[in-house]
Structure 1
Amino acid sequence: MKAVIFDLDGTLIDSMSMWKNLGKTFLEEKNLIMTDEVSQTMTTMSLTMSSKYLKEHYNLKDSSEAIYNYFKKVILEFYINQALPKEHSLETLQAYNDLGYDVVLGTATNYGFVEPLLERFDLMDSFKFVQTVDSVKTSKDNSKYFKIISNKLEISPNEIFLFDDARFALSAAKNIGIKTVAVYDKYSDDHWKDIKVENDYAIKTFKDWSAK
């Protein structure tokens, strides 16, 4: 193996509760209900995509820019002041860097939000590059997203590990031959039994994994 892709939210960082409640809280303020279908659809999207999607789906008077700015304020406050790493995640990240792997951050989160979080945890030099869905105009449920990373690295997919908590992202990566490591998050609990079967490896925490 030559390279590792780490997801951010729900994998390296314990932040899925913030993301899951983001759209829900916004809609509740307008006396609207977020359905499971809407929540799942937004999971695959960037914030820009989600803002536009909510406006269109609920026929909101707010502009997509206004919705985006509402989300932006909540996310930045959380990333800068509250977000914490998942157990042993940053140690595993450092171990792969020490071993000489090409390490990539592959996230659905806009880089404008990612950067202050990386700065906060002194991770700016921990990745060969950061790929967001906005930067490649492709969501993480599309195998193309991971193929782009493979092409940038000039490394065959079967020589790349992916650590991710999202079932759709793991499936998209596995479809092109990437070795998938499912990382447990409480928000994937309902599907964890199936996720373990579908992927090459599955871990409850990074303490269960030895970088080598």
Structure 2
Amino acid sequence: MKLLFDCDGTILDSMHIWSEPINGIFEKYGFSFEGLDKEEKGKIEALPMGGMIDYIAENIATDMSRAEVSKYFEDVIEDGYKNHLMPKEGALEILTKLKESGYEMAIASSTDSIYLKLAFERLGISDYFSFLNTPDLTDLNKAEDAYWQHAIDKFAVPAEEIILFDDALYAINAAKKLGIKTCGLKDFPYNKREWEYIIESADQVLDTIADIDIEELEG
């Protein structure tokens, strides 16, 4: 079995590094990001950083240039991944056990690889993952079928031999369309509104990746 991990909210306790500046700029202009319906919120969350910047410059902060919106995000994001963001409780331990048990693991993220690499190098887990499936490396986003097909092709196994661990409903639904097995993860409060739908959609659910049962995977 091949293991595919989302990063933000799954490995890293990092959703705040995105949600706080996004919520802040939405609220400044009289909008509510968290108040969007789950489909619209999912579409926006699936955007790579450049796409998010484009969306906000064109639809929300219309009096700011794209460069100004980009600067607003980039300073916060780079500093967070390079210096501050920490793993979810138990995440490093289970990833180490899985690595030692011989599982091939990879990342499926909406965050560009340049930021993930900063955090993974700081935490000493860069060599745990055989590849990073990210928008900047694939020119694809997690809402697209081709994004998940790319991961399947990189693993070079049938889709049903891959398990995705992810906290986002839209990603779980997109991966399932291609036949990938899915495990939904809690990341409250960020996915609390979606949790009942995640339970319905995912093949299984866990509180965190620390709860992965290696013996059950092997079985």
Match of 1:163 in 2: 165
Which of 124, 127, 135 is the matching residue for 2:126? 124
TM-score (norm 2): 0.88
Matched, 1:188 2:191: yes
1:108, 1:134 within 8 Å by CA — same for their partners in 2?
no
Write the distance in 2 (CA, Å) between the matches of 1:190 and 1:41.
Answer: 16
Kindly state the Cα deviation for residue 22 of structure 1 after the two structures are TM-superposed. Answer: 1.6
Amino acid at match of 1:54: I
Match of 2:31 in 1: 34
Match of 1:95 in 2: 97
Matched, 1:107 2:109: yes
Kindly state the Cα deviation for residue 10 of structure 1 after the two structures are TM-superposed. Answer: 0.6
Write the distance in 1 (CA, Å) between the matches of 2:137 and 2:85.
Answer: 23
2:10, 2:185 within 8 Å by CA — same for their partners in 1?
yes
Segment drifting more, 54-63 vs 16-25: 54-63
Kindly state the Cα deviation for residue 99 of structure 1 after the two structures are TM-superposed. Answer: 2.1
Segment drifting more, 186-195 vs 3-12: 186-195
Unaligned stretches of 5+ residues in structure 2: none
CA displacement, residues 3-62 of structure 1 (integer Å, 9 cap, x when unaligned)? 11110001001111221112222355xx41233337544311111110111111136243
Write the distance in 2 (CA, Å) between the matches of 1:122 and 1:81.
Answer: 13
Q: CA RMSD in A?
A: 1.8
Matched, 1:64 2:63: no
Unaligned stretches of 5+ residues in structure 1: none
% identical aligned pairs: 29
Match of 1:46 in 2: 48
Match of 1:24 in 2: 23
> Match of 1:170, SS?
helix
Kindly state the Cα deviation for residue 86 of structure 1 after the two structures are TM-superposed. Answer: 0.9
1:173, 1:180 within 8 Å by CA — same for their partners in 2?
yes
Write the distance in 2 (CA, Å) between the matches of 1:60 and 1:200.
Answer: 41
Task: Return structure 1 stretches of 4+ with deviation > 4 angstroms.
Answer: none
Write the distance in 2 (CA, Å) between the matches of 1:21 and 1:102.
Answer: 33
Match of 1:208 in 2: 211
Matched, 1:198 2:201: yes
Write the distance in 2 (CA, Å) between the matches of 1:127 and 1:144.
Answer: 20
Amino acid at match of 1:148: H
TM-score (norm 1): 0.90
